């Protein structure tokens, strides 16, 4: 498939002014995502060179300033011969002209561009990176010598320079994004590291290194087994136990390239990561839909053919996929991405391509590996039975609530008179004494209080049936009135907002995390609907003269003292030991009163990241869990005011 490139193959098309005028059209925006897009563009060119079989190594360096990056590969080196018409080196043409038919012409329509190695669109993104960089240096080694060419905001600074003799071949692109284009030019090392690690899994055998000069850490990634290694890692970090030893693996490359690994685990979730042309598709899309349907049909066929379906239990697609962990990677010619963050694949033809590829091979695999198939089917039947048990448990709670017309609410709930209406709120409060202050301090019309006694069960890996055996959580589900698990219906929620109110200390954070885990795992819809909030009670009261300030934490306290402490005034600082210690009036003023309080709305920022953080926080390993909560509580879920 590879042809030898010569300079005449490049058509001179357009200058780079449009890129600087409307950067968003080319890289999606100038936020942090746009900034990192520059790295992905150059990285993609290096990966293309590896996929074409010429490069075996890619090195990425984040320089000490944190705002400039180098990407290097050991491929052929970008051609430097002179273009016959323009008499300019190919390297210069590639870096200074916008390429037609390239990745970006369909960006406005939501497209991300072509699968470059298939479409021969090698290198189209480099000029965009050049246009948006205050400085870019391209170094090429080929034919026994090293060459360099420098640019500023996309324009050459001097000619191609021969640096001297050099061994081997390859390309290095150093660039420093233009701060007049990007409001923030600091790269996030973790974002880069993660992308590189995934890249090494998606291209088996490729050696990828990340040299972070900011913190002087080096990472090297190389995976001989590619996706199979990736799957192992995902399963290990999620501490999910596989129910069969070897994963199902599938790879095909005839125009439409697909790679897939699947393994069922004891976890109660389905966890599939998908990629299109090496780009993560966190919101799924047609390729994932095709995978799900193909897989469901294959398993169902197998179960039906061998009459394995138990009597009295119907197996749903969700049962079939419970505990399924997998990675899907496809490469296609003209991917169309959709959604606010362009992370969902929209090409309709891909669905049947994936379905059609997966279904027969998976069914064949099950028939050929009967003991694996048996373990998978047993897992599926278990999922169906657990689901029916959960449904029965959840229904019995809702039924109890609904019988007699009057609500059978938990005795310890102090309801508000206007529940169900706009502005109504349920505060979930830790402990009876805090509950007491909250009860006295609240607005009785709109604010209900549910005190929780004792520890809430860790819902991370528990089934809903198990969770509802926990009195505290069962009471909570009853008070909310909207059901839990798959039958959770946010339109039935008895309050407009559900607000978690815990002490501002580490115990309080722990309880908040446990409750969030419960909501995340069993009432996801309430979070998705933006109905779950976290209250921010103060930790300190600071009196300076006649003024009173409230500080949420130590940083806040320092900030207030710095800002308001003038002359030789002496502050009087009180640290609250807990909410129960606070006068009801003070609790109202600082935490309950909608006019003066601060609320954080709980949002799921990135489902995969959230899943991982929750798993890390709440999974089996208890020791790191606690530290994690202290350090990372704010990261676990994106909190928005
Ligand atoms: C750090 C980024 O861009 N590597 C790279 C790019 C090219 C080649 C090799 C290359 C391709 C071809 C022939 C070919 C590019 N070539 C072009 C163009 N790394 C990085 N490595 N010889 C070398 O595709 O035929 C654009 S990029 F336009 F010349 F084909």
Q: What are the tens digits of pLDDT across the range 449-482?
A: 999 886 777 877 778 888 888 888 888 998 998 8
476 in any annotated domain? yes
- Would the pLDDT of 120 be above 90? no
Q: Pick the last residue of a domain from 371, 388, 405.
A: 388
Q: How far is the CA of 91 from the centre of ligand 1 (A)?
A: 9
Residues 363 and 244 in one domain: yes
Q: What does the pLDDT read at residue 504? A: 80
For residue 18, count CB atoms less than 10 angstroms from its CB and return exposed for 0-12, middle for 13-18, buried for 19 or more. Answer: middle
The percentage of residues in the chain with a pLDDT greater than 90, rounded to a whole number, is 56
Is-contact 531 497, C-beta < 8 A?
yes
Q: What does the pLDDT read at residue 79? A: 95
Q: For the ranges 10-24, 74-88, 231-245, 422-436, which has the lowest average pLDDT?
A: 10-24
Indicate the pLDDT class of residue 512, thresholds 50, 70 and 90.
confident
Residue 179 makes CB contacts below 8 A (sequence gap 6+) with 67, 134, 185
* CATH label of the domain that carries residue 23: 3.30.565.10
The residue whose C-alpha atom lies closest to atom 26 belonging to ligand 1 is 123
Residue from 376, 289, 364, 276 nearest 324 by CA: 376
Q: What does the pLDDT read at residue 113? A: 34
Residue 471 corresponds to which tokens in the numbers above?
A: 């009195």
Residues 309 and 426 in one domain: no
Q: What is the DSSP letter of 43?
A: H
Residue 249 corresponds to which tokens in the numbers above?
A: 């693996």
Q: What does the pLDDT read at residue 418? A: 84
Residue from 473, 493, 495 nearest 426 by CA: 495
What is the phi/psi pair of residue 532, to 5°?
-105, 130
Residues 487 and 514 in one domain: yes
The answer to whether the CB of 169 is under 6 A from ligand 1 is no
Residues 193 and 268 in one domain: no
Q: Pick the last residue of a domain from 343, 373, 388.
A: 388
| 609 or 30, greater pLDDT | 30
Q: Where are the beta strands (DSSP E) in 511-588?
A: 532-535, 540-544, 547-551, 571-575
Domain that holds residue 180: 17-221
Which of 213, 388, 443, 505 is the catalytic position?
A: 505
629 in any annotated domain? no
Residues 366 and 467 in one domain: no
Residues 236 and 294 in one domain: yes
- Mean pLDDT for the stretch of residues 193-216: 97
| 516 or 107, greater pLDDT | 516
Indicate the pLDDT class of residue 400, thresholds 50, 70 and 90.
low
CA distance 220 to 214: 17
Residues 396 and 514 in one domain: yes
Residue from 416, 591, 419, 426 nearest 497 by CA: 426
- Mean pLDDT for the stretch of residues 214-220: 97
Is-contact 350 290, C-beta < 8 A?
yes
Q: How far is the CA of 156 from the centre of ligand 1 (A)?
A: 19
CA distance 565 to 451: 38
2 in any annotated domain? no
The residue whose C-alpha atom lies closest to atom 27 belonging to ligand 1 is 123
Best probe residue, ligand 1, of 10, 45, 71, 83 (max atoms within 8 Å of C-beta): 45
The answer to whether the CB of 92 is under 6 A from ligand 1 is no
DSSP letters for 271-336: EEEEEETTEE-TT-BHHHHHHHHHHHHHHHHHHHHTT-PPTT-PPPHHHHHTTEEEEEEEE-SS-B
Give whole-number Cα distances, 126 to 43, 73, 180, 243, 586, in Å.
10, 14, 19, 46, 59
Residue 335 corresponds to which tokens in the numbers above?
A: 């991917």
Pairing mode, strands 425-430 and 497-501: parallel
Q: What does the pLDDT read at residue 227? A: 98
- Count helices and strands in the chain by DSSP H and E runs: 21, 25
What does the mean pLDDT of the chain come to? 85
Q: Pick the last residue of a domain from 388, 403, 438.
A: 388
Residues 310 and 269 in one domain: yes
The answer to whether the CB of 42 is under 6 A from ligand 1 is yes
* CATH label of the domain that carries residue 364: 3.30.230.10
Indicate the pLDDT class of residue 509, thresholds 50, 70 and 90.
confident
What is the phi/psi pair of residue 96, to 5°?
-120, 0
380 in any annotated domain? yes
Is-contact 336 103, C-beta < 8 A?
no
The answer to whether the CB of 535 is under 6 A from ligand 1 is no
CA distance 622 to 619: 7
- Would the pLDDT of 605 be above 80? no
Taking the model in full, what pTM does it have?
A: 0.69
The residue whose C-alpha atom lies closest to atom 15 belonging to ligand 1 is 78
Residue 31 makes CB contacts below 8 A (sequence gap 6+) with 183, 184
Q: What does the pLDDT read at residue 399? A: 62
CA distance 145 to 160: 12
627 in any annotated domain? no
Residues 463 and 557 in one domain: no
Q: What does the pLDDT read at residue 632? A: 31
Q: For the ranges 100-109, 557-566, 607-616, which has the lowest average pLDDT?
A: 100-109
616 in any annotated domain? no
* Nearest atom within ligand 1 for CA of residue 90: 29
Active site residue 503: yes
CA distance 581 to 38: 53
Count of domains in the chain? 4
Residue from 583, 591, 374 nearest 501 by CA: 591
343 in any annotated domain? yes
Indicate the pLDDT class of residue 388, thresholds 50, 70 and 90.
confident
- Would the pLDDT of 327 be above 60? yes
Residues 90 and 169 in one domain: yes
- Would the pLDDT of 99 be above 80? no
Active site residue 355: no
Residues 251 and 185 in one domain: no
> pLDDT tens, 267-299?
888 999 999 999 999 999 999 999 999 999 999
For residue 173, count CB atoms less than 10 angstroms from its CB and return exposed for 0-12, middle for 13-18, buried for 19 or more. Answer: buried
Residue from 224, 189, 194 nearest 207 by CA: 224
353 in any annotated domain? yes
- Give residue 179's region: left, alpha or beta (phi > 0; psi -120 to 50): alpha
Active site residue 266: no
Active site residue 507: yes
């Amino acid at each position: 498939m590879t042809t030898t490139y010569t300079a005449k193959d490049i058509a001179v098309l357009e200058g780079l002014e449009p890129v600087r005028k409307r950067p968003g059209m080319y890289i999606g925006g100038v936020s942090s995502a746009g900034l990192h897009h520059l790295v992905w563009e150059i990285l993609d060119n290096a990966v293309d060179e590896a996929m074409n079989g010429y490069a075996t190594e890619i090195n990425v360096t984040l320089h000490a300033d944190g705002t400039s990056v180098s990407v290097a590969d050991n491929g052929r080196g970008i051609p430097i011969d002179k273009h016959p018409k323009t008499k300019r080196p190919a390297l210069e043409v590639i870096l200074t002209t916008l390429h037609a038919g390239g990745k970006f012409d369909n960006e406005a329509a939501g497209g991300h561009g072509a699968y470059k190695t298939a479409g021969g669109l090698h290198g189209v993104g480099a000029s965009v990176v050049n246009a948006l960089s205050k400085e870019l240096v391209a170094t090429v080694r080929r034919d026994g010598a090293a060459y360099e060419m420098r640019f500023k905001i996309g324009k050459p600074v001097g000619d191609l320079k021969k640096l001297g003799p050099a061994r081997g071949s390859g390309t290095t692109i150093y660039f420093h994004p233009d701060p007049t284009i990007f409001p923030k030019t600091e790269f996030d090392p973790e974002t880069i590291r993660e992308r590189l690690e995934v890249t090494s899994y998606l291209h088996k055998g490729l050696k990828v290194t990340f040299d972070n000069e900011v913190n002087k850490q080096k990472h090297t990634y190389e995976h001989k087994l590619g996706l199979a290694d990736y799957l192992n890692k995902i399963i290990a970090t999620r501490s999910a136990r596989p129910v069969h030893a070897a994963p199902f693996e599938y790879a095909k490359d005839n125009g439409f390239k697909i790679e897939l690994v699947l393994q069922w685990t004891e976890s109660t979730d389905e966890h599939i990561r998908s990629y299109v042309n090496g780009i993560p598709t966190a919101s799924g899309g047609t390729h994932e839909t095709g995978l799900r349907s193909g897989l469901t049909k294959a398993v169902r066929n197998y179960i039906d053919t061998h009459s394995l379906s138990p009597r009295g239990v119907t197996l749903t697609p969700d049962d079939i996929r419970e505990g399924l962990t997998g990675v899907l990677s496809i490469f296609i010619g003209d991917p169309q991405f959709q959604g606010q963050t362009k992370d969902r694949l929209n090409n309709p033809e891909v669905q049947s391509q994936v379905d059609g590829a997966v279904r027969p091979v998976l069914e064949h695999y099950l028939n050929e590996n009967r003991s694996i198939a048996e373990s998978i089917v047993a897992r599926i039947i278990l999922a169906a039975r657990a689901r029916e048990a959960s449904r029965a448990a959840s229904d019995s709670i809702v039924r109890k609530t609904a019988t007699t017309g009057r609500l059978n609410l938990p005795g310890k709930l102090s309801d508000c008179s206007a529940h169900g209406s706009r502005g109504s709120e349920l505060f979930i409060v830790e402990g009876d004494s805090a509950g007491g202050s909250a009860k006295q301090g609240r607005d009785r019309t709109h604010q209900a209080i549910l005190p929780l006694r004792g520890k809430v069960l860790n819902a991370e890996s528990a089934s809903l049936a198990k969770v509802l055996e926990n009195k505290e959580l069962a009471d909570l589900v009853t008070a909310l009135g909207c059901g839990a698990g798959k039958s959770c219906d946010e339109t039935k929620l008895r309050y407009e907002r559900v607000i978690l109110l815990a002490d501002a200390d580490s115990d309080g954070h722990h309880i908040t995390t446990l409750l969030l885990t419960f909501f995340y795992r069993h009432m996801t819809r309430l979070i998705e609907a933006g109905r779950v909030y976290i209250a921010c009670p103060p930790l300190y009261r600071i009196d300076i003269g006649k003024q009173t300030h409230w500080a949420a934490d130590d940083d806040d306290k320092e900030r207030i003292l710095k800002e308001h402490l003038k002359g030789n005034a002496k502050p009087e600082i009180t640290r609250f030991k807990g909410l129960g210690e606070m006068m009801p009036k003070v609790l109202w003023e600082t935490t309950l009163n909608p006019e003066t309080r601060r609320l954080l709305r709980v949002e799921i920022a990135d489902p995969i990241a959230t899943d991982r953080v929750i798993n890390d926080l709440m999974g089996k390993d208890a020791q790191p869990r606690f530290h994690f909560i202290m350090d990372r509580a704010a990261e676990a879920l994106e909190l928005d005011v």
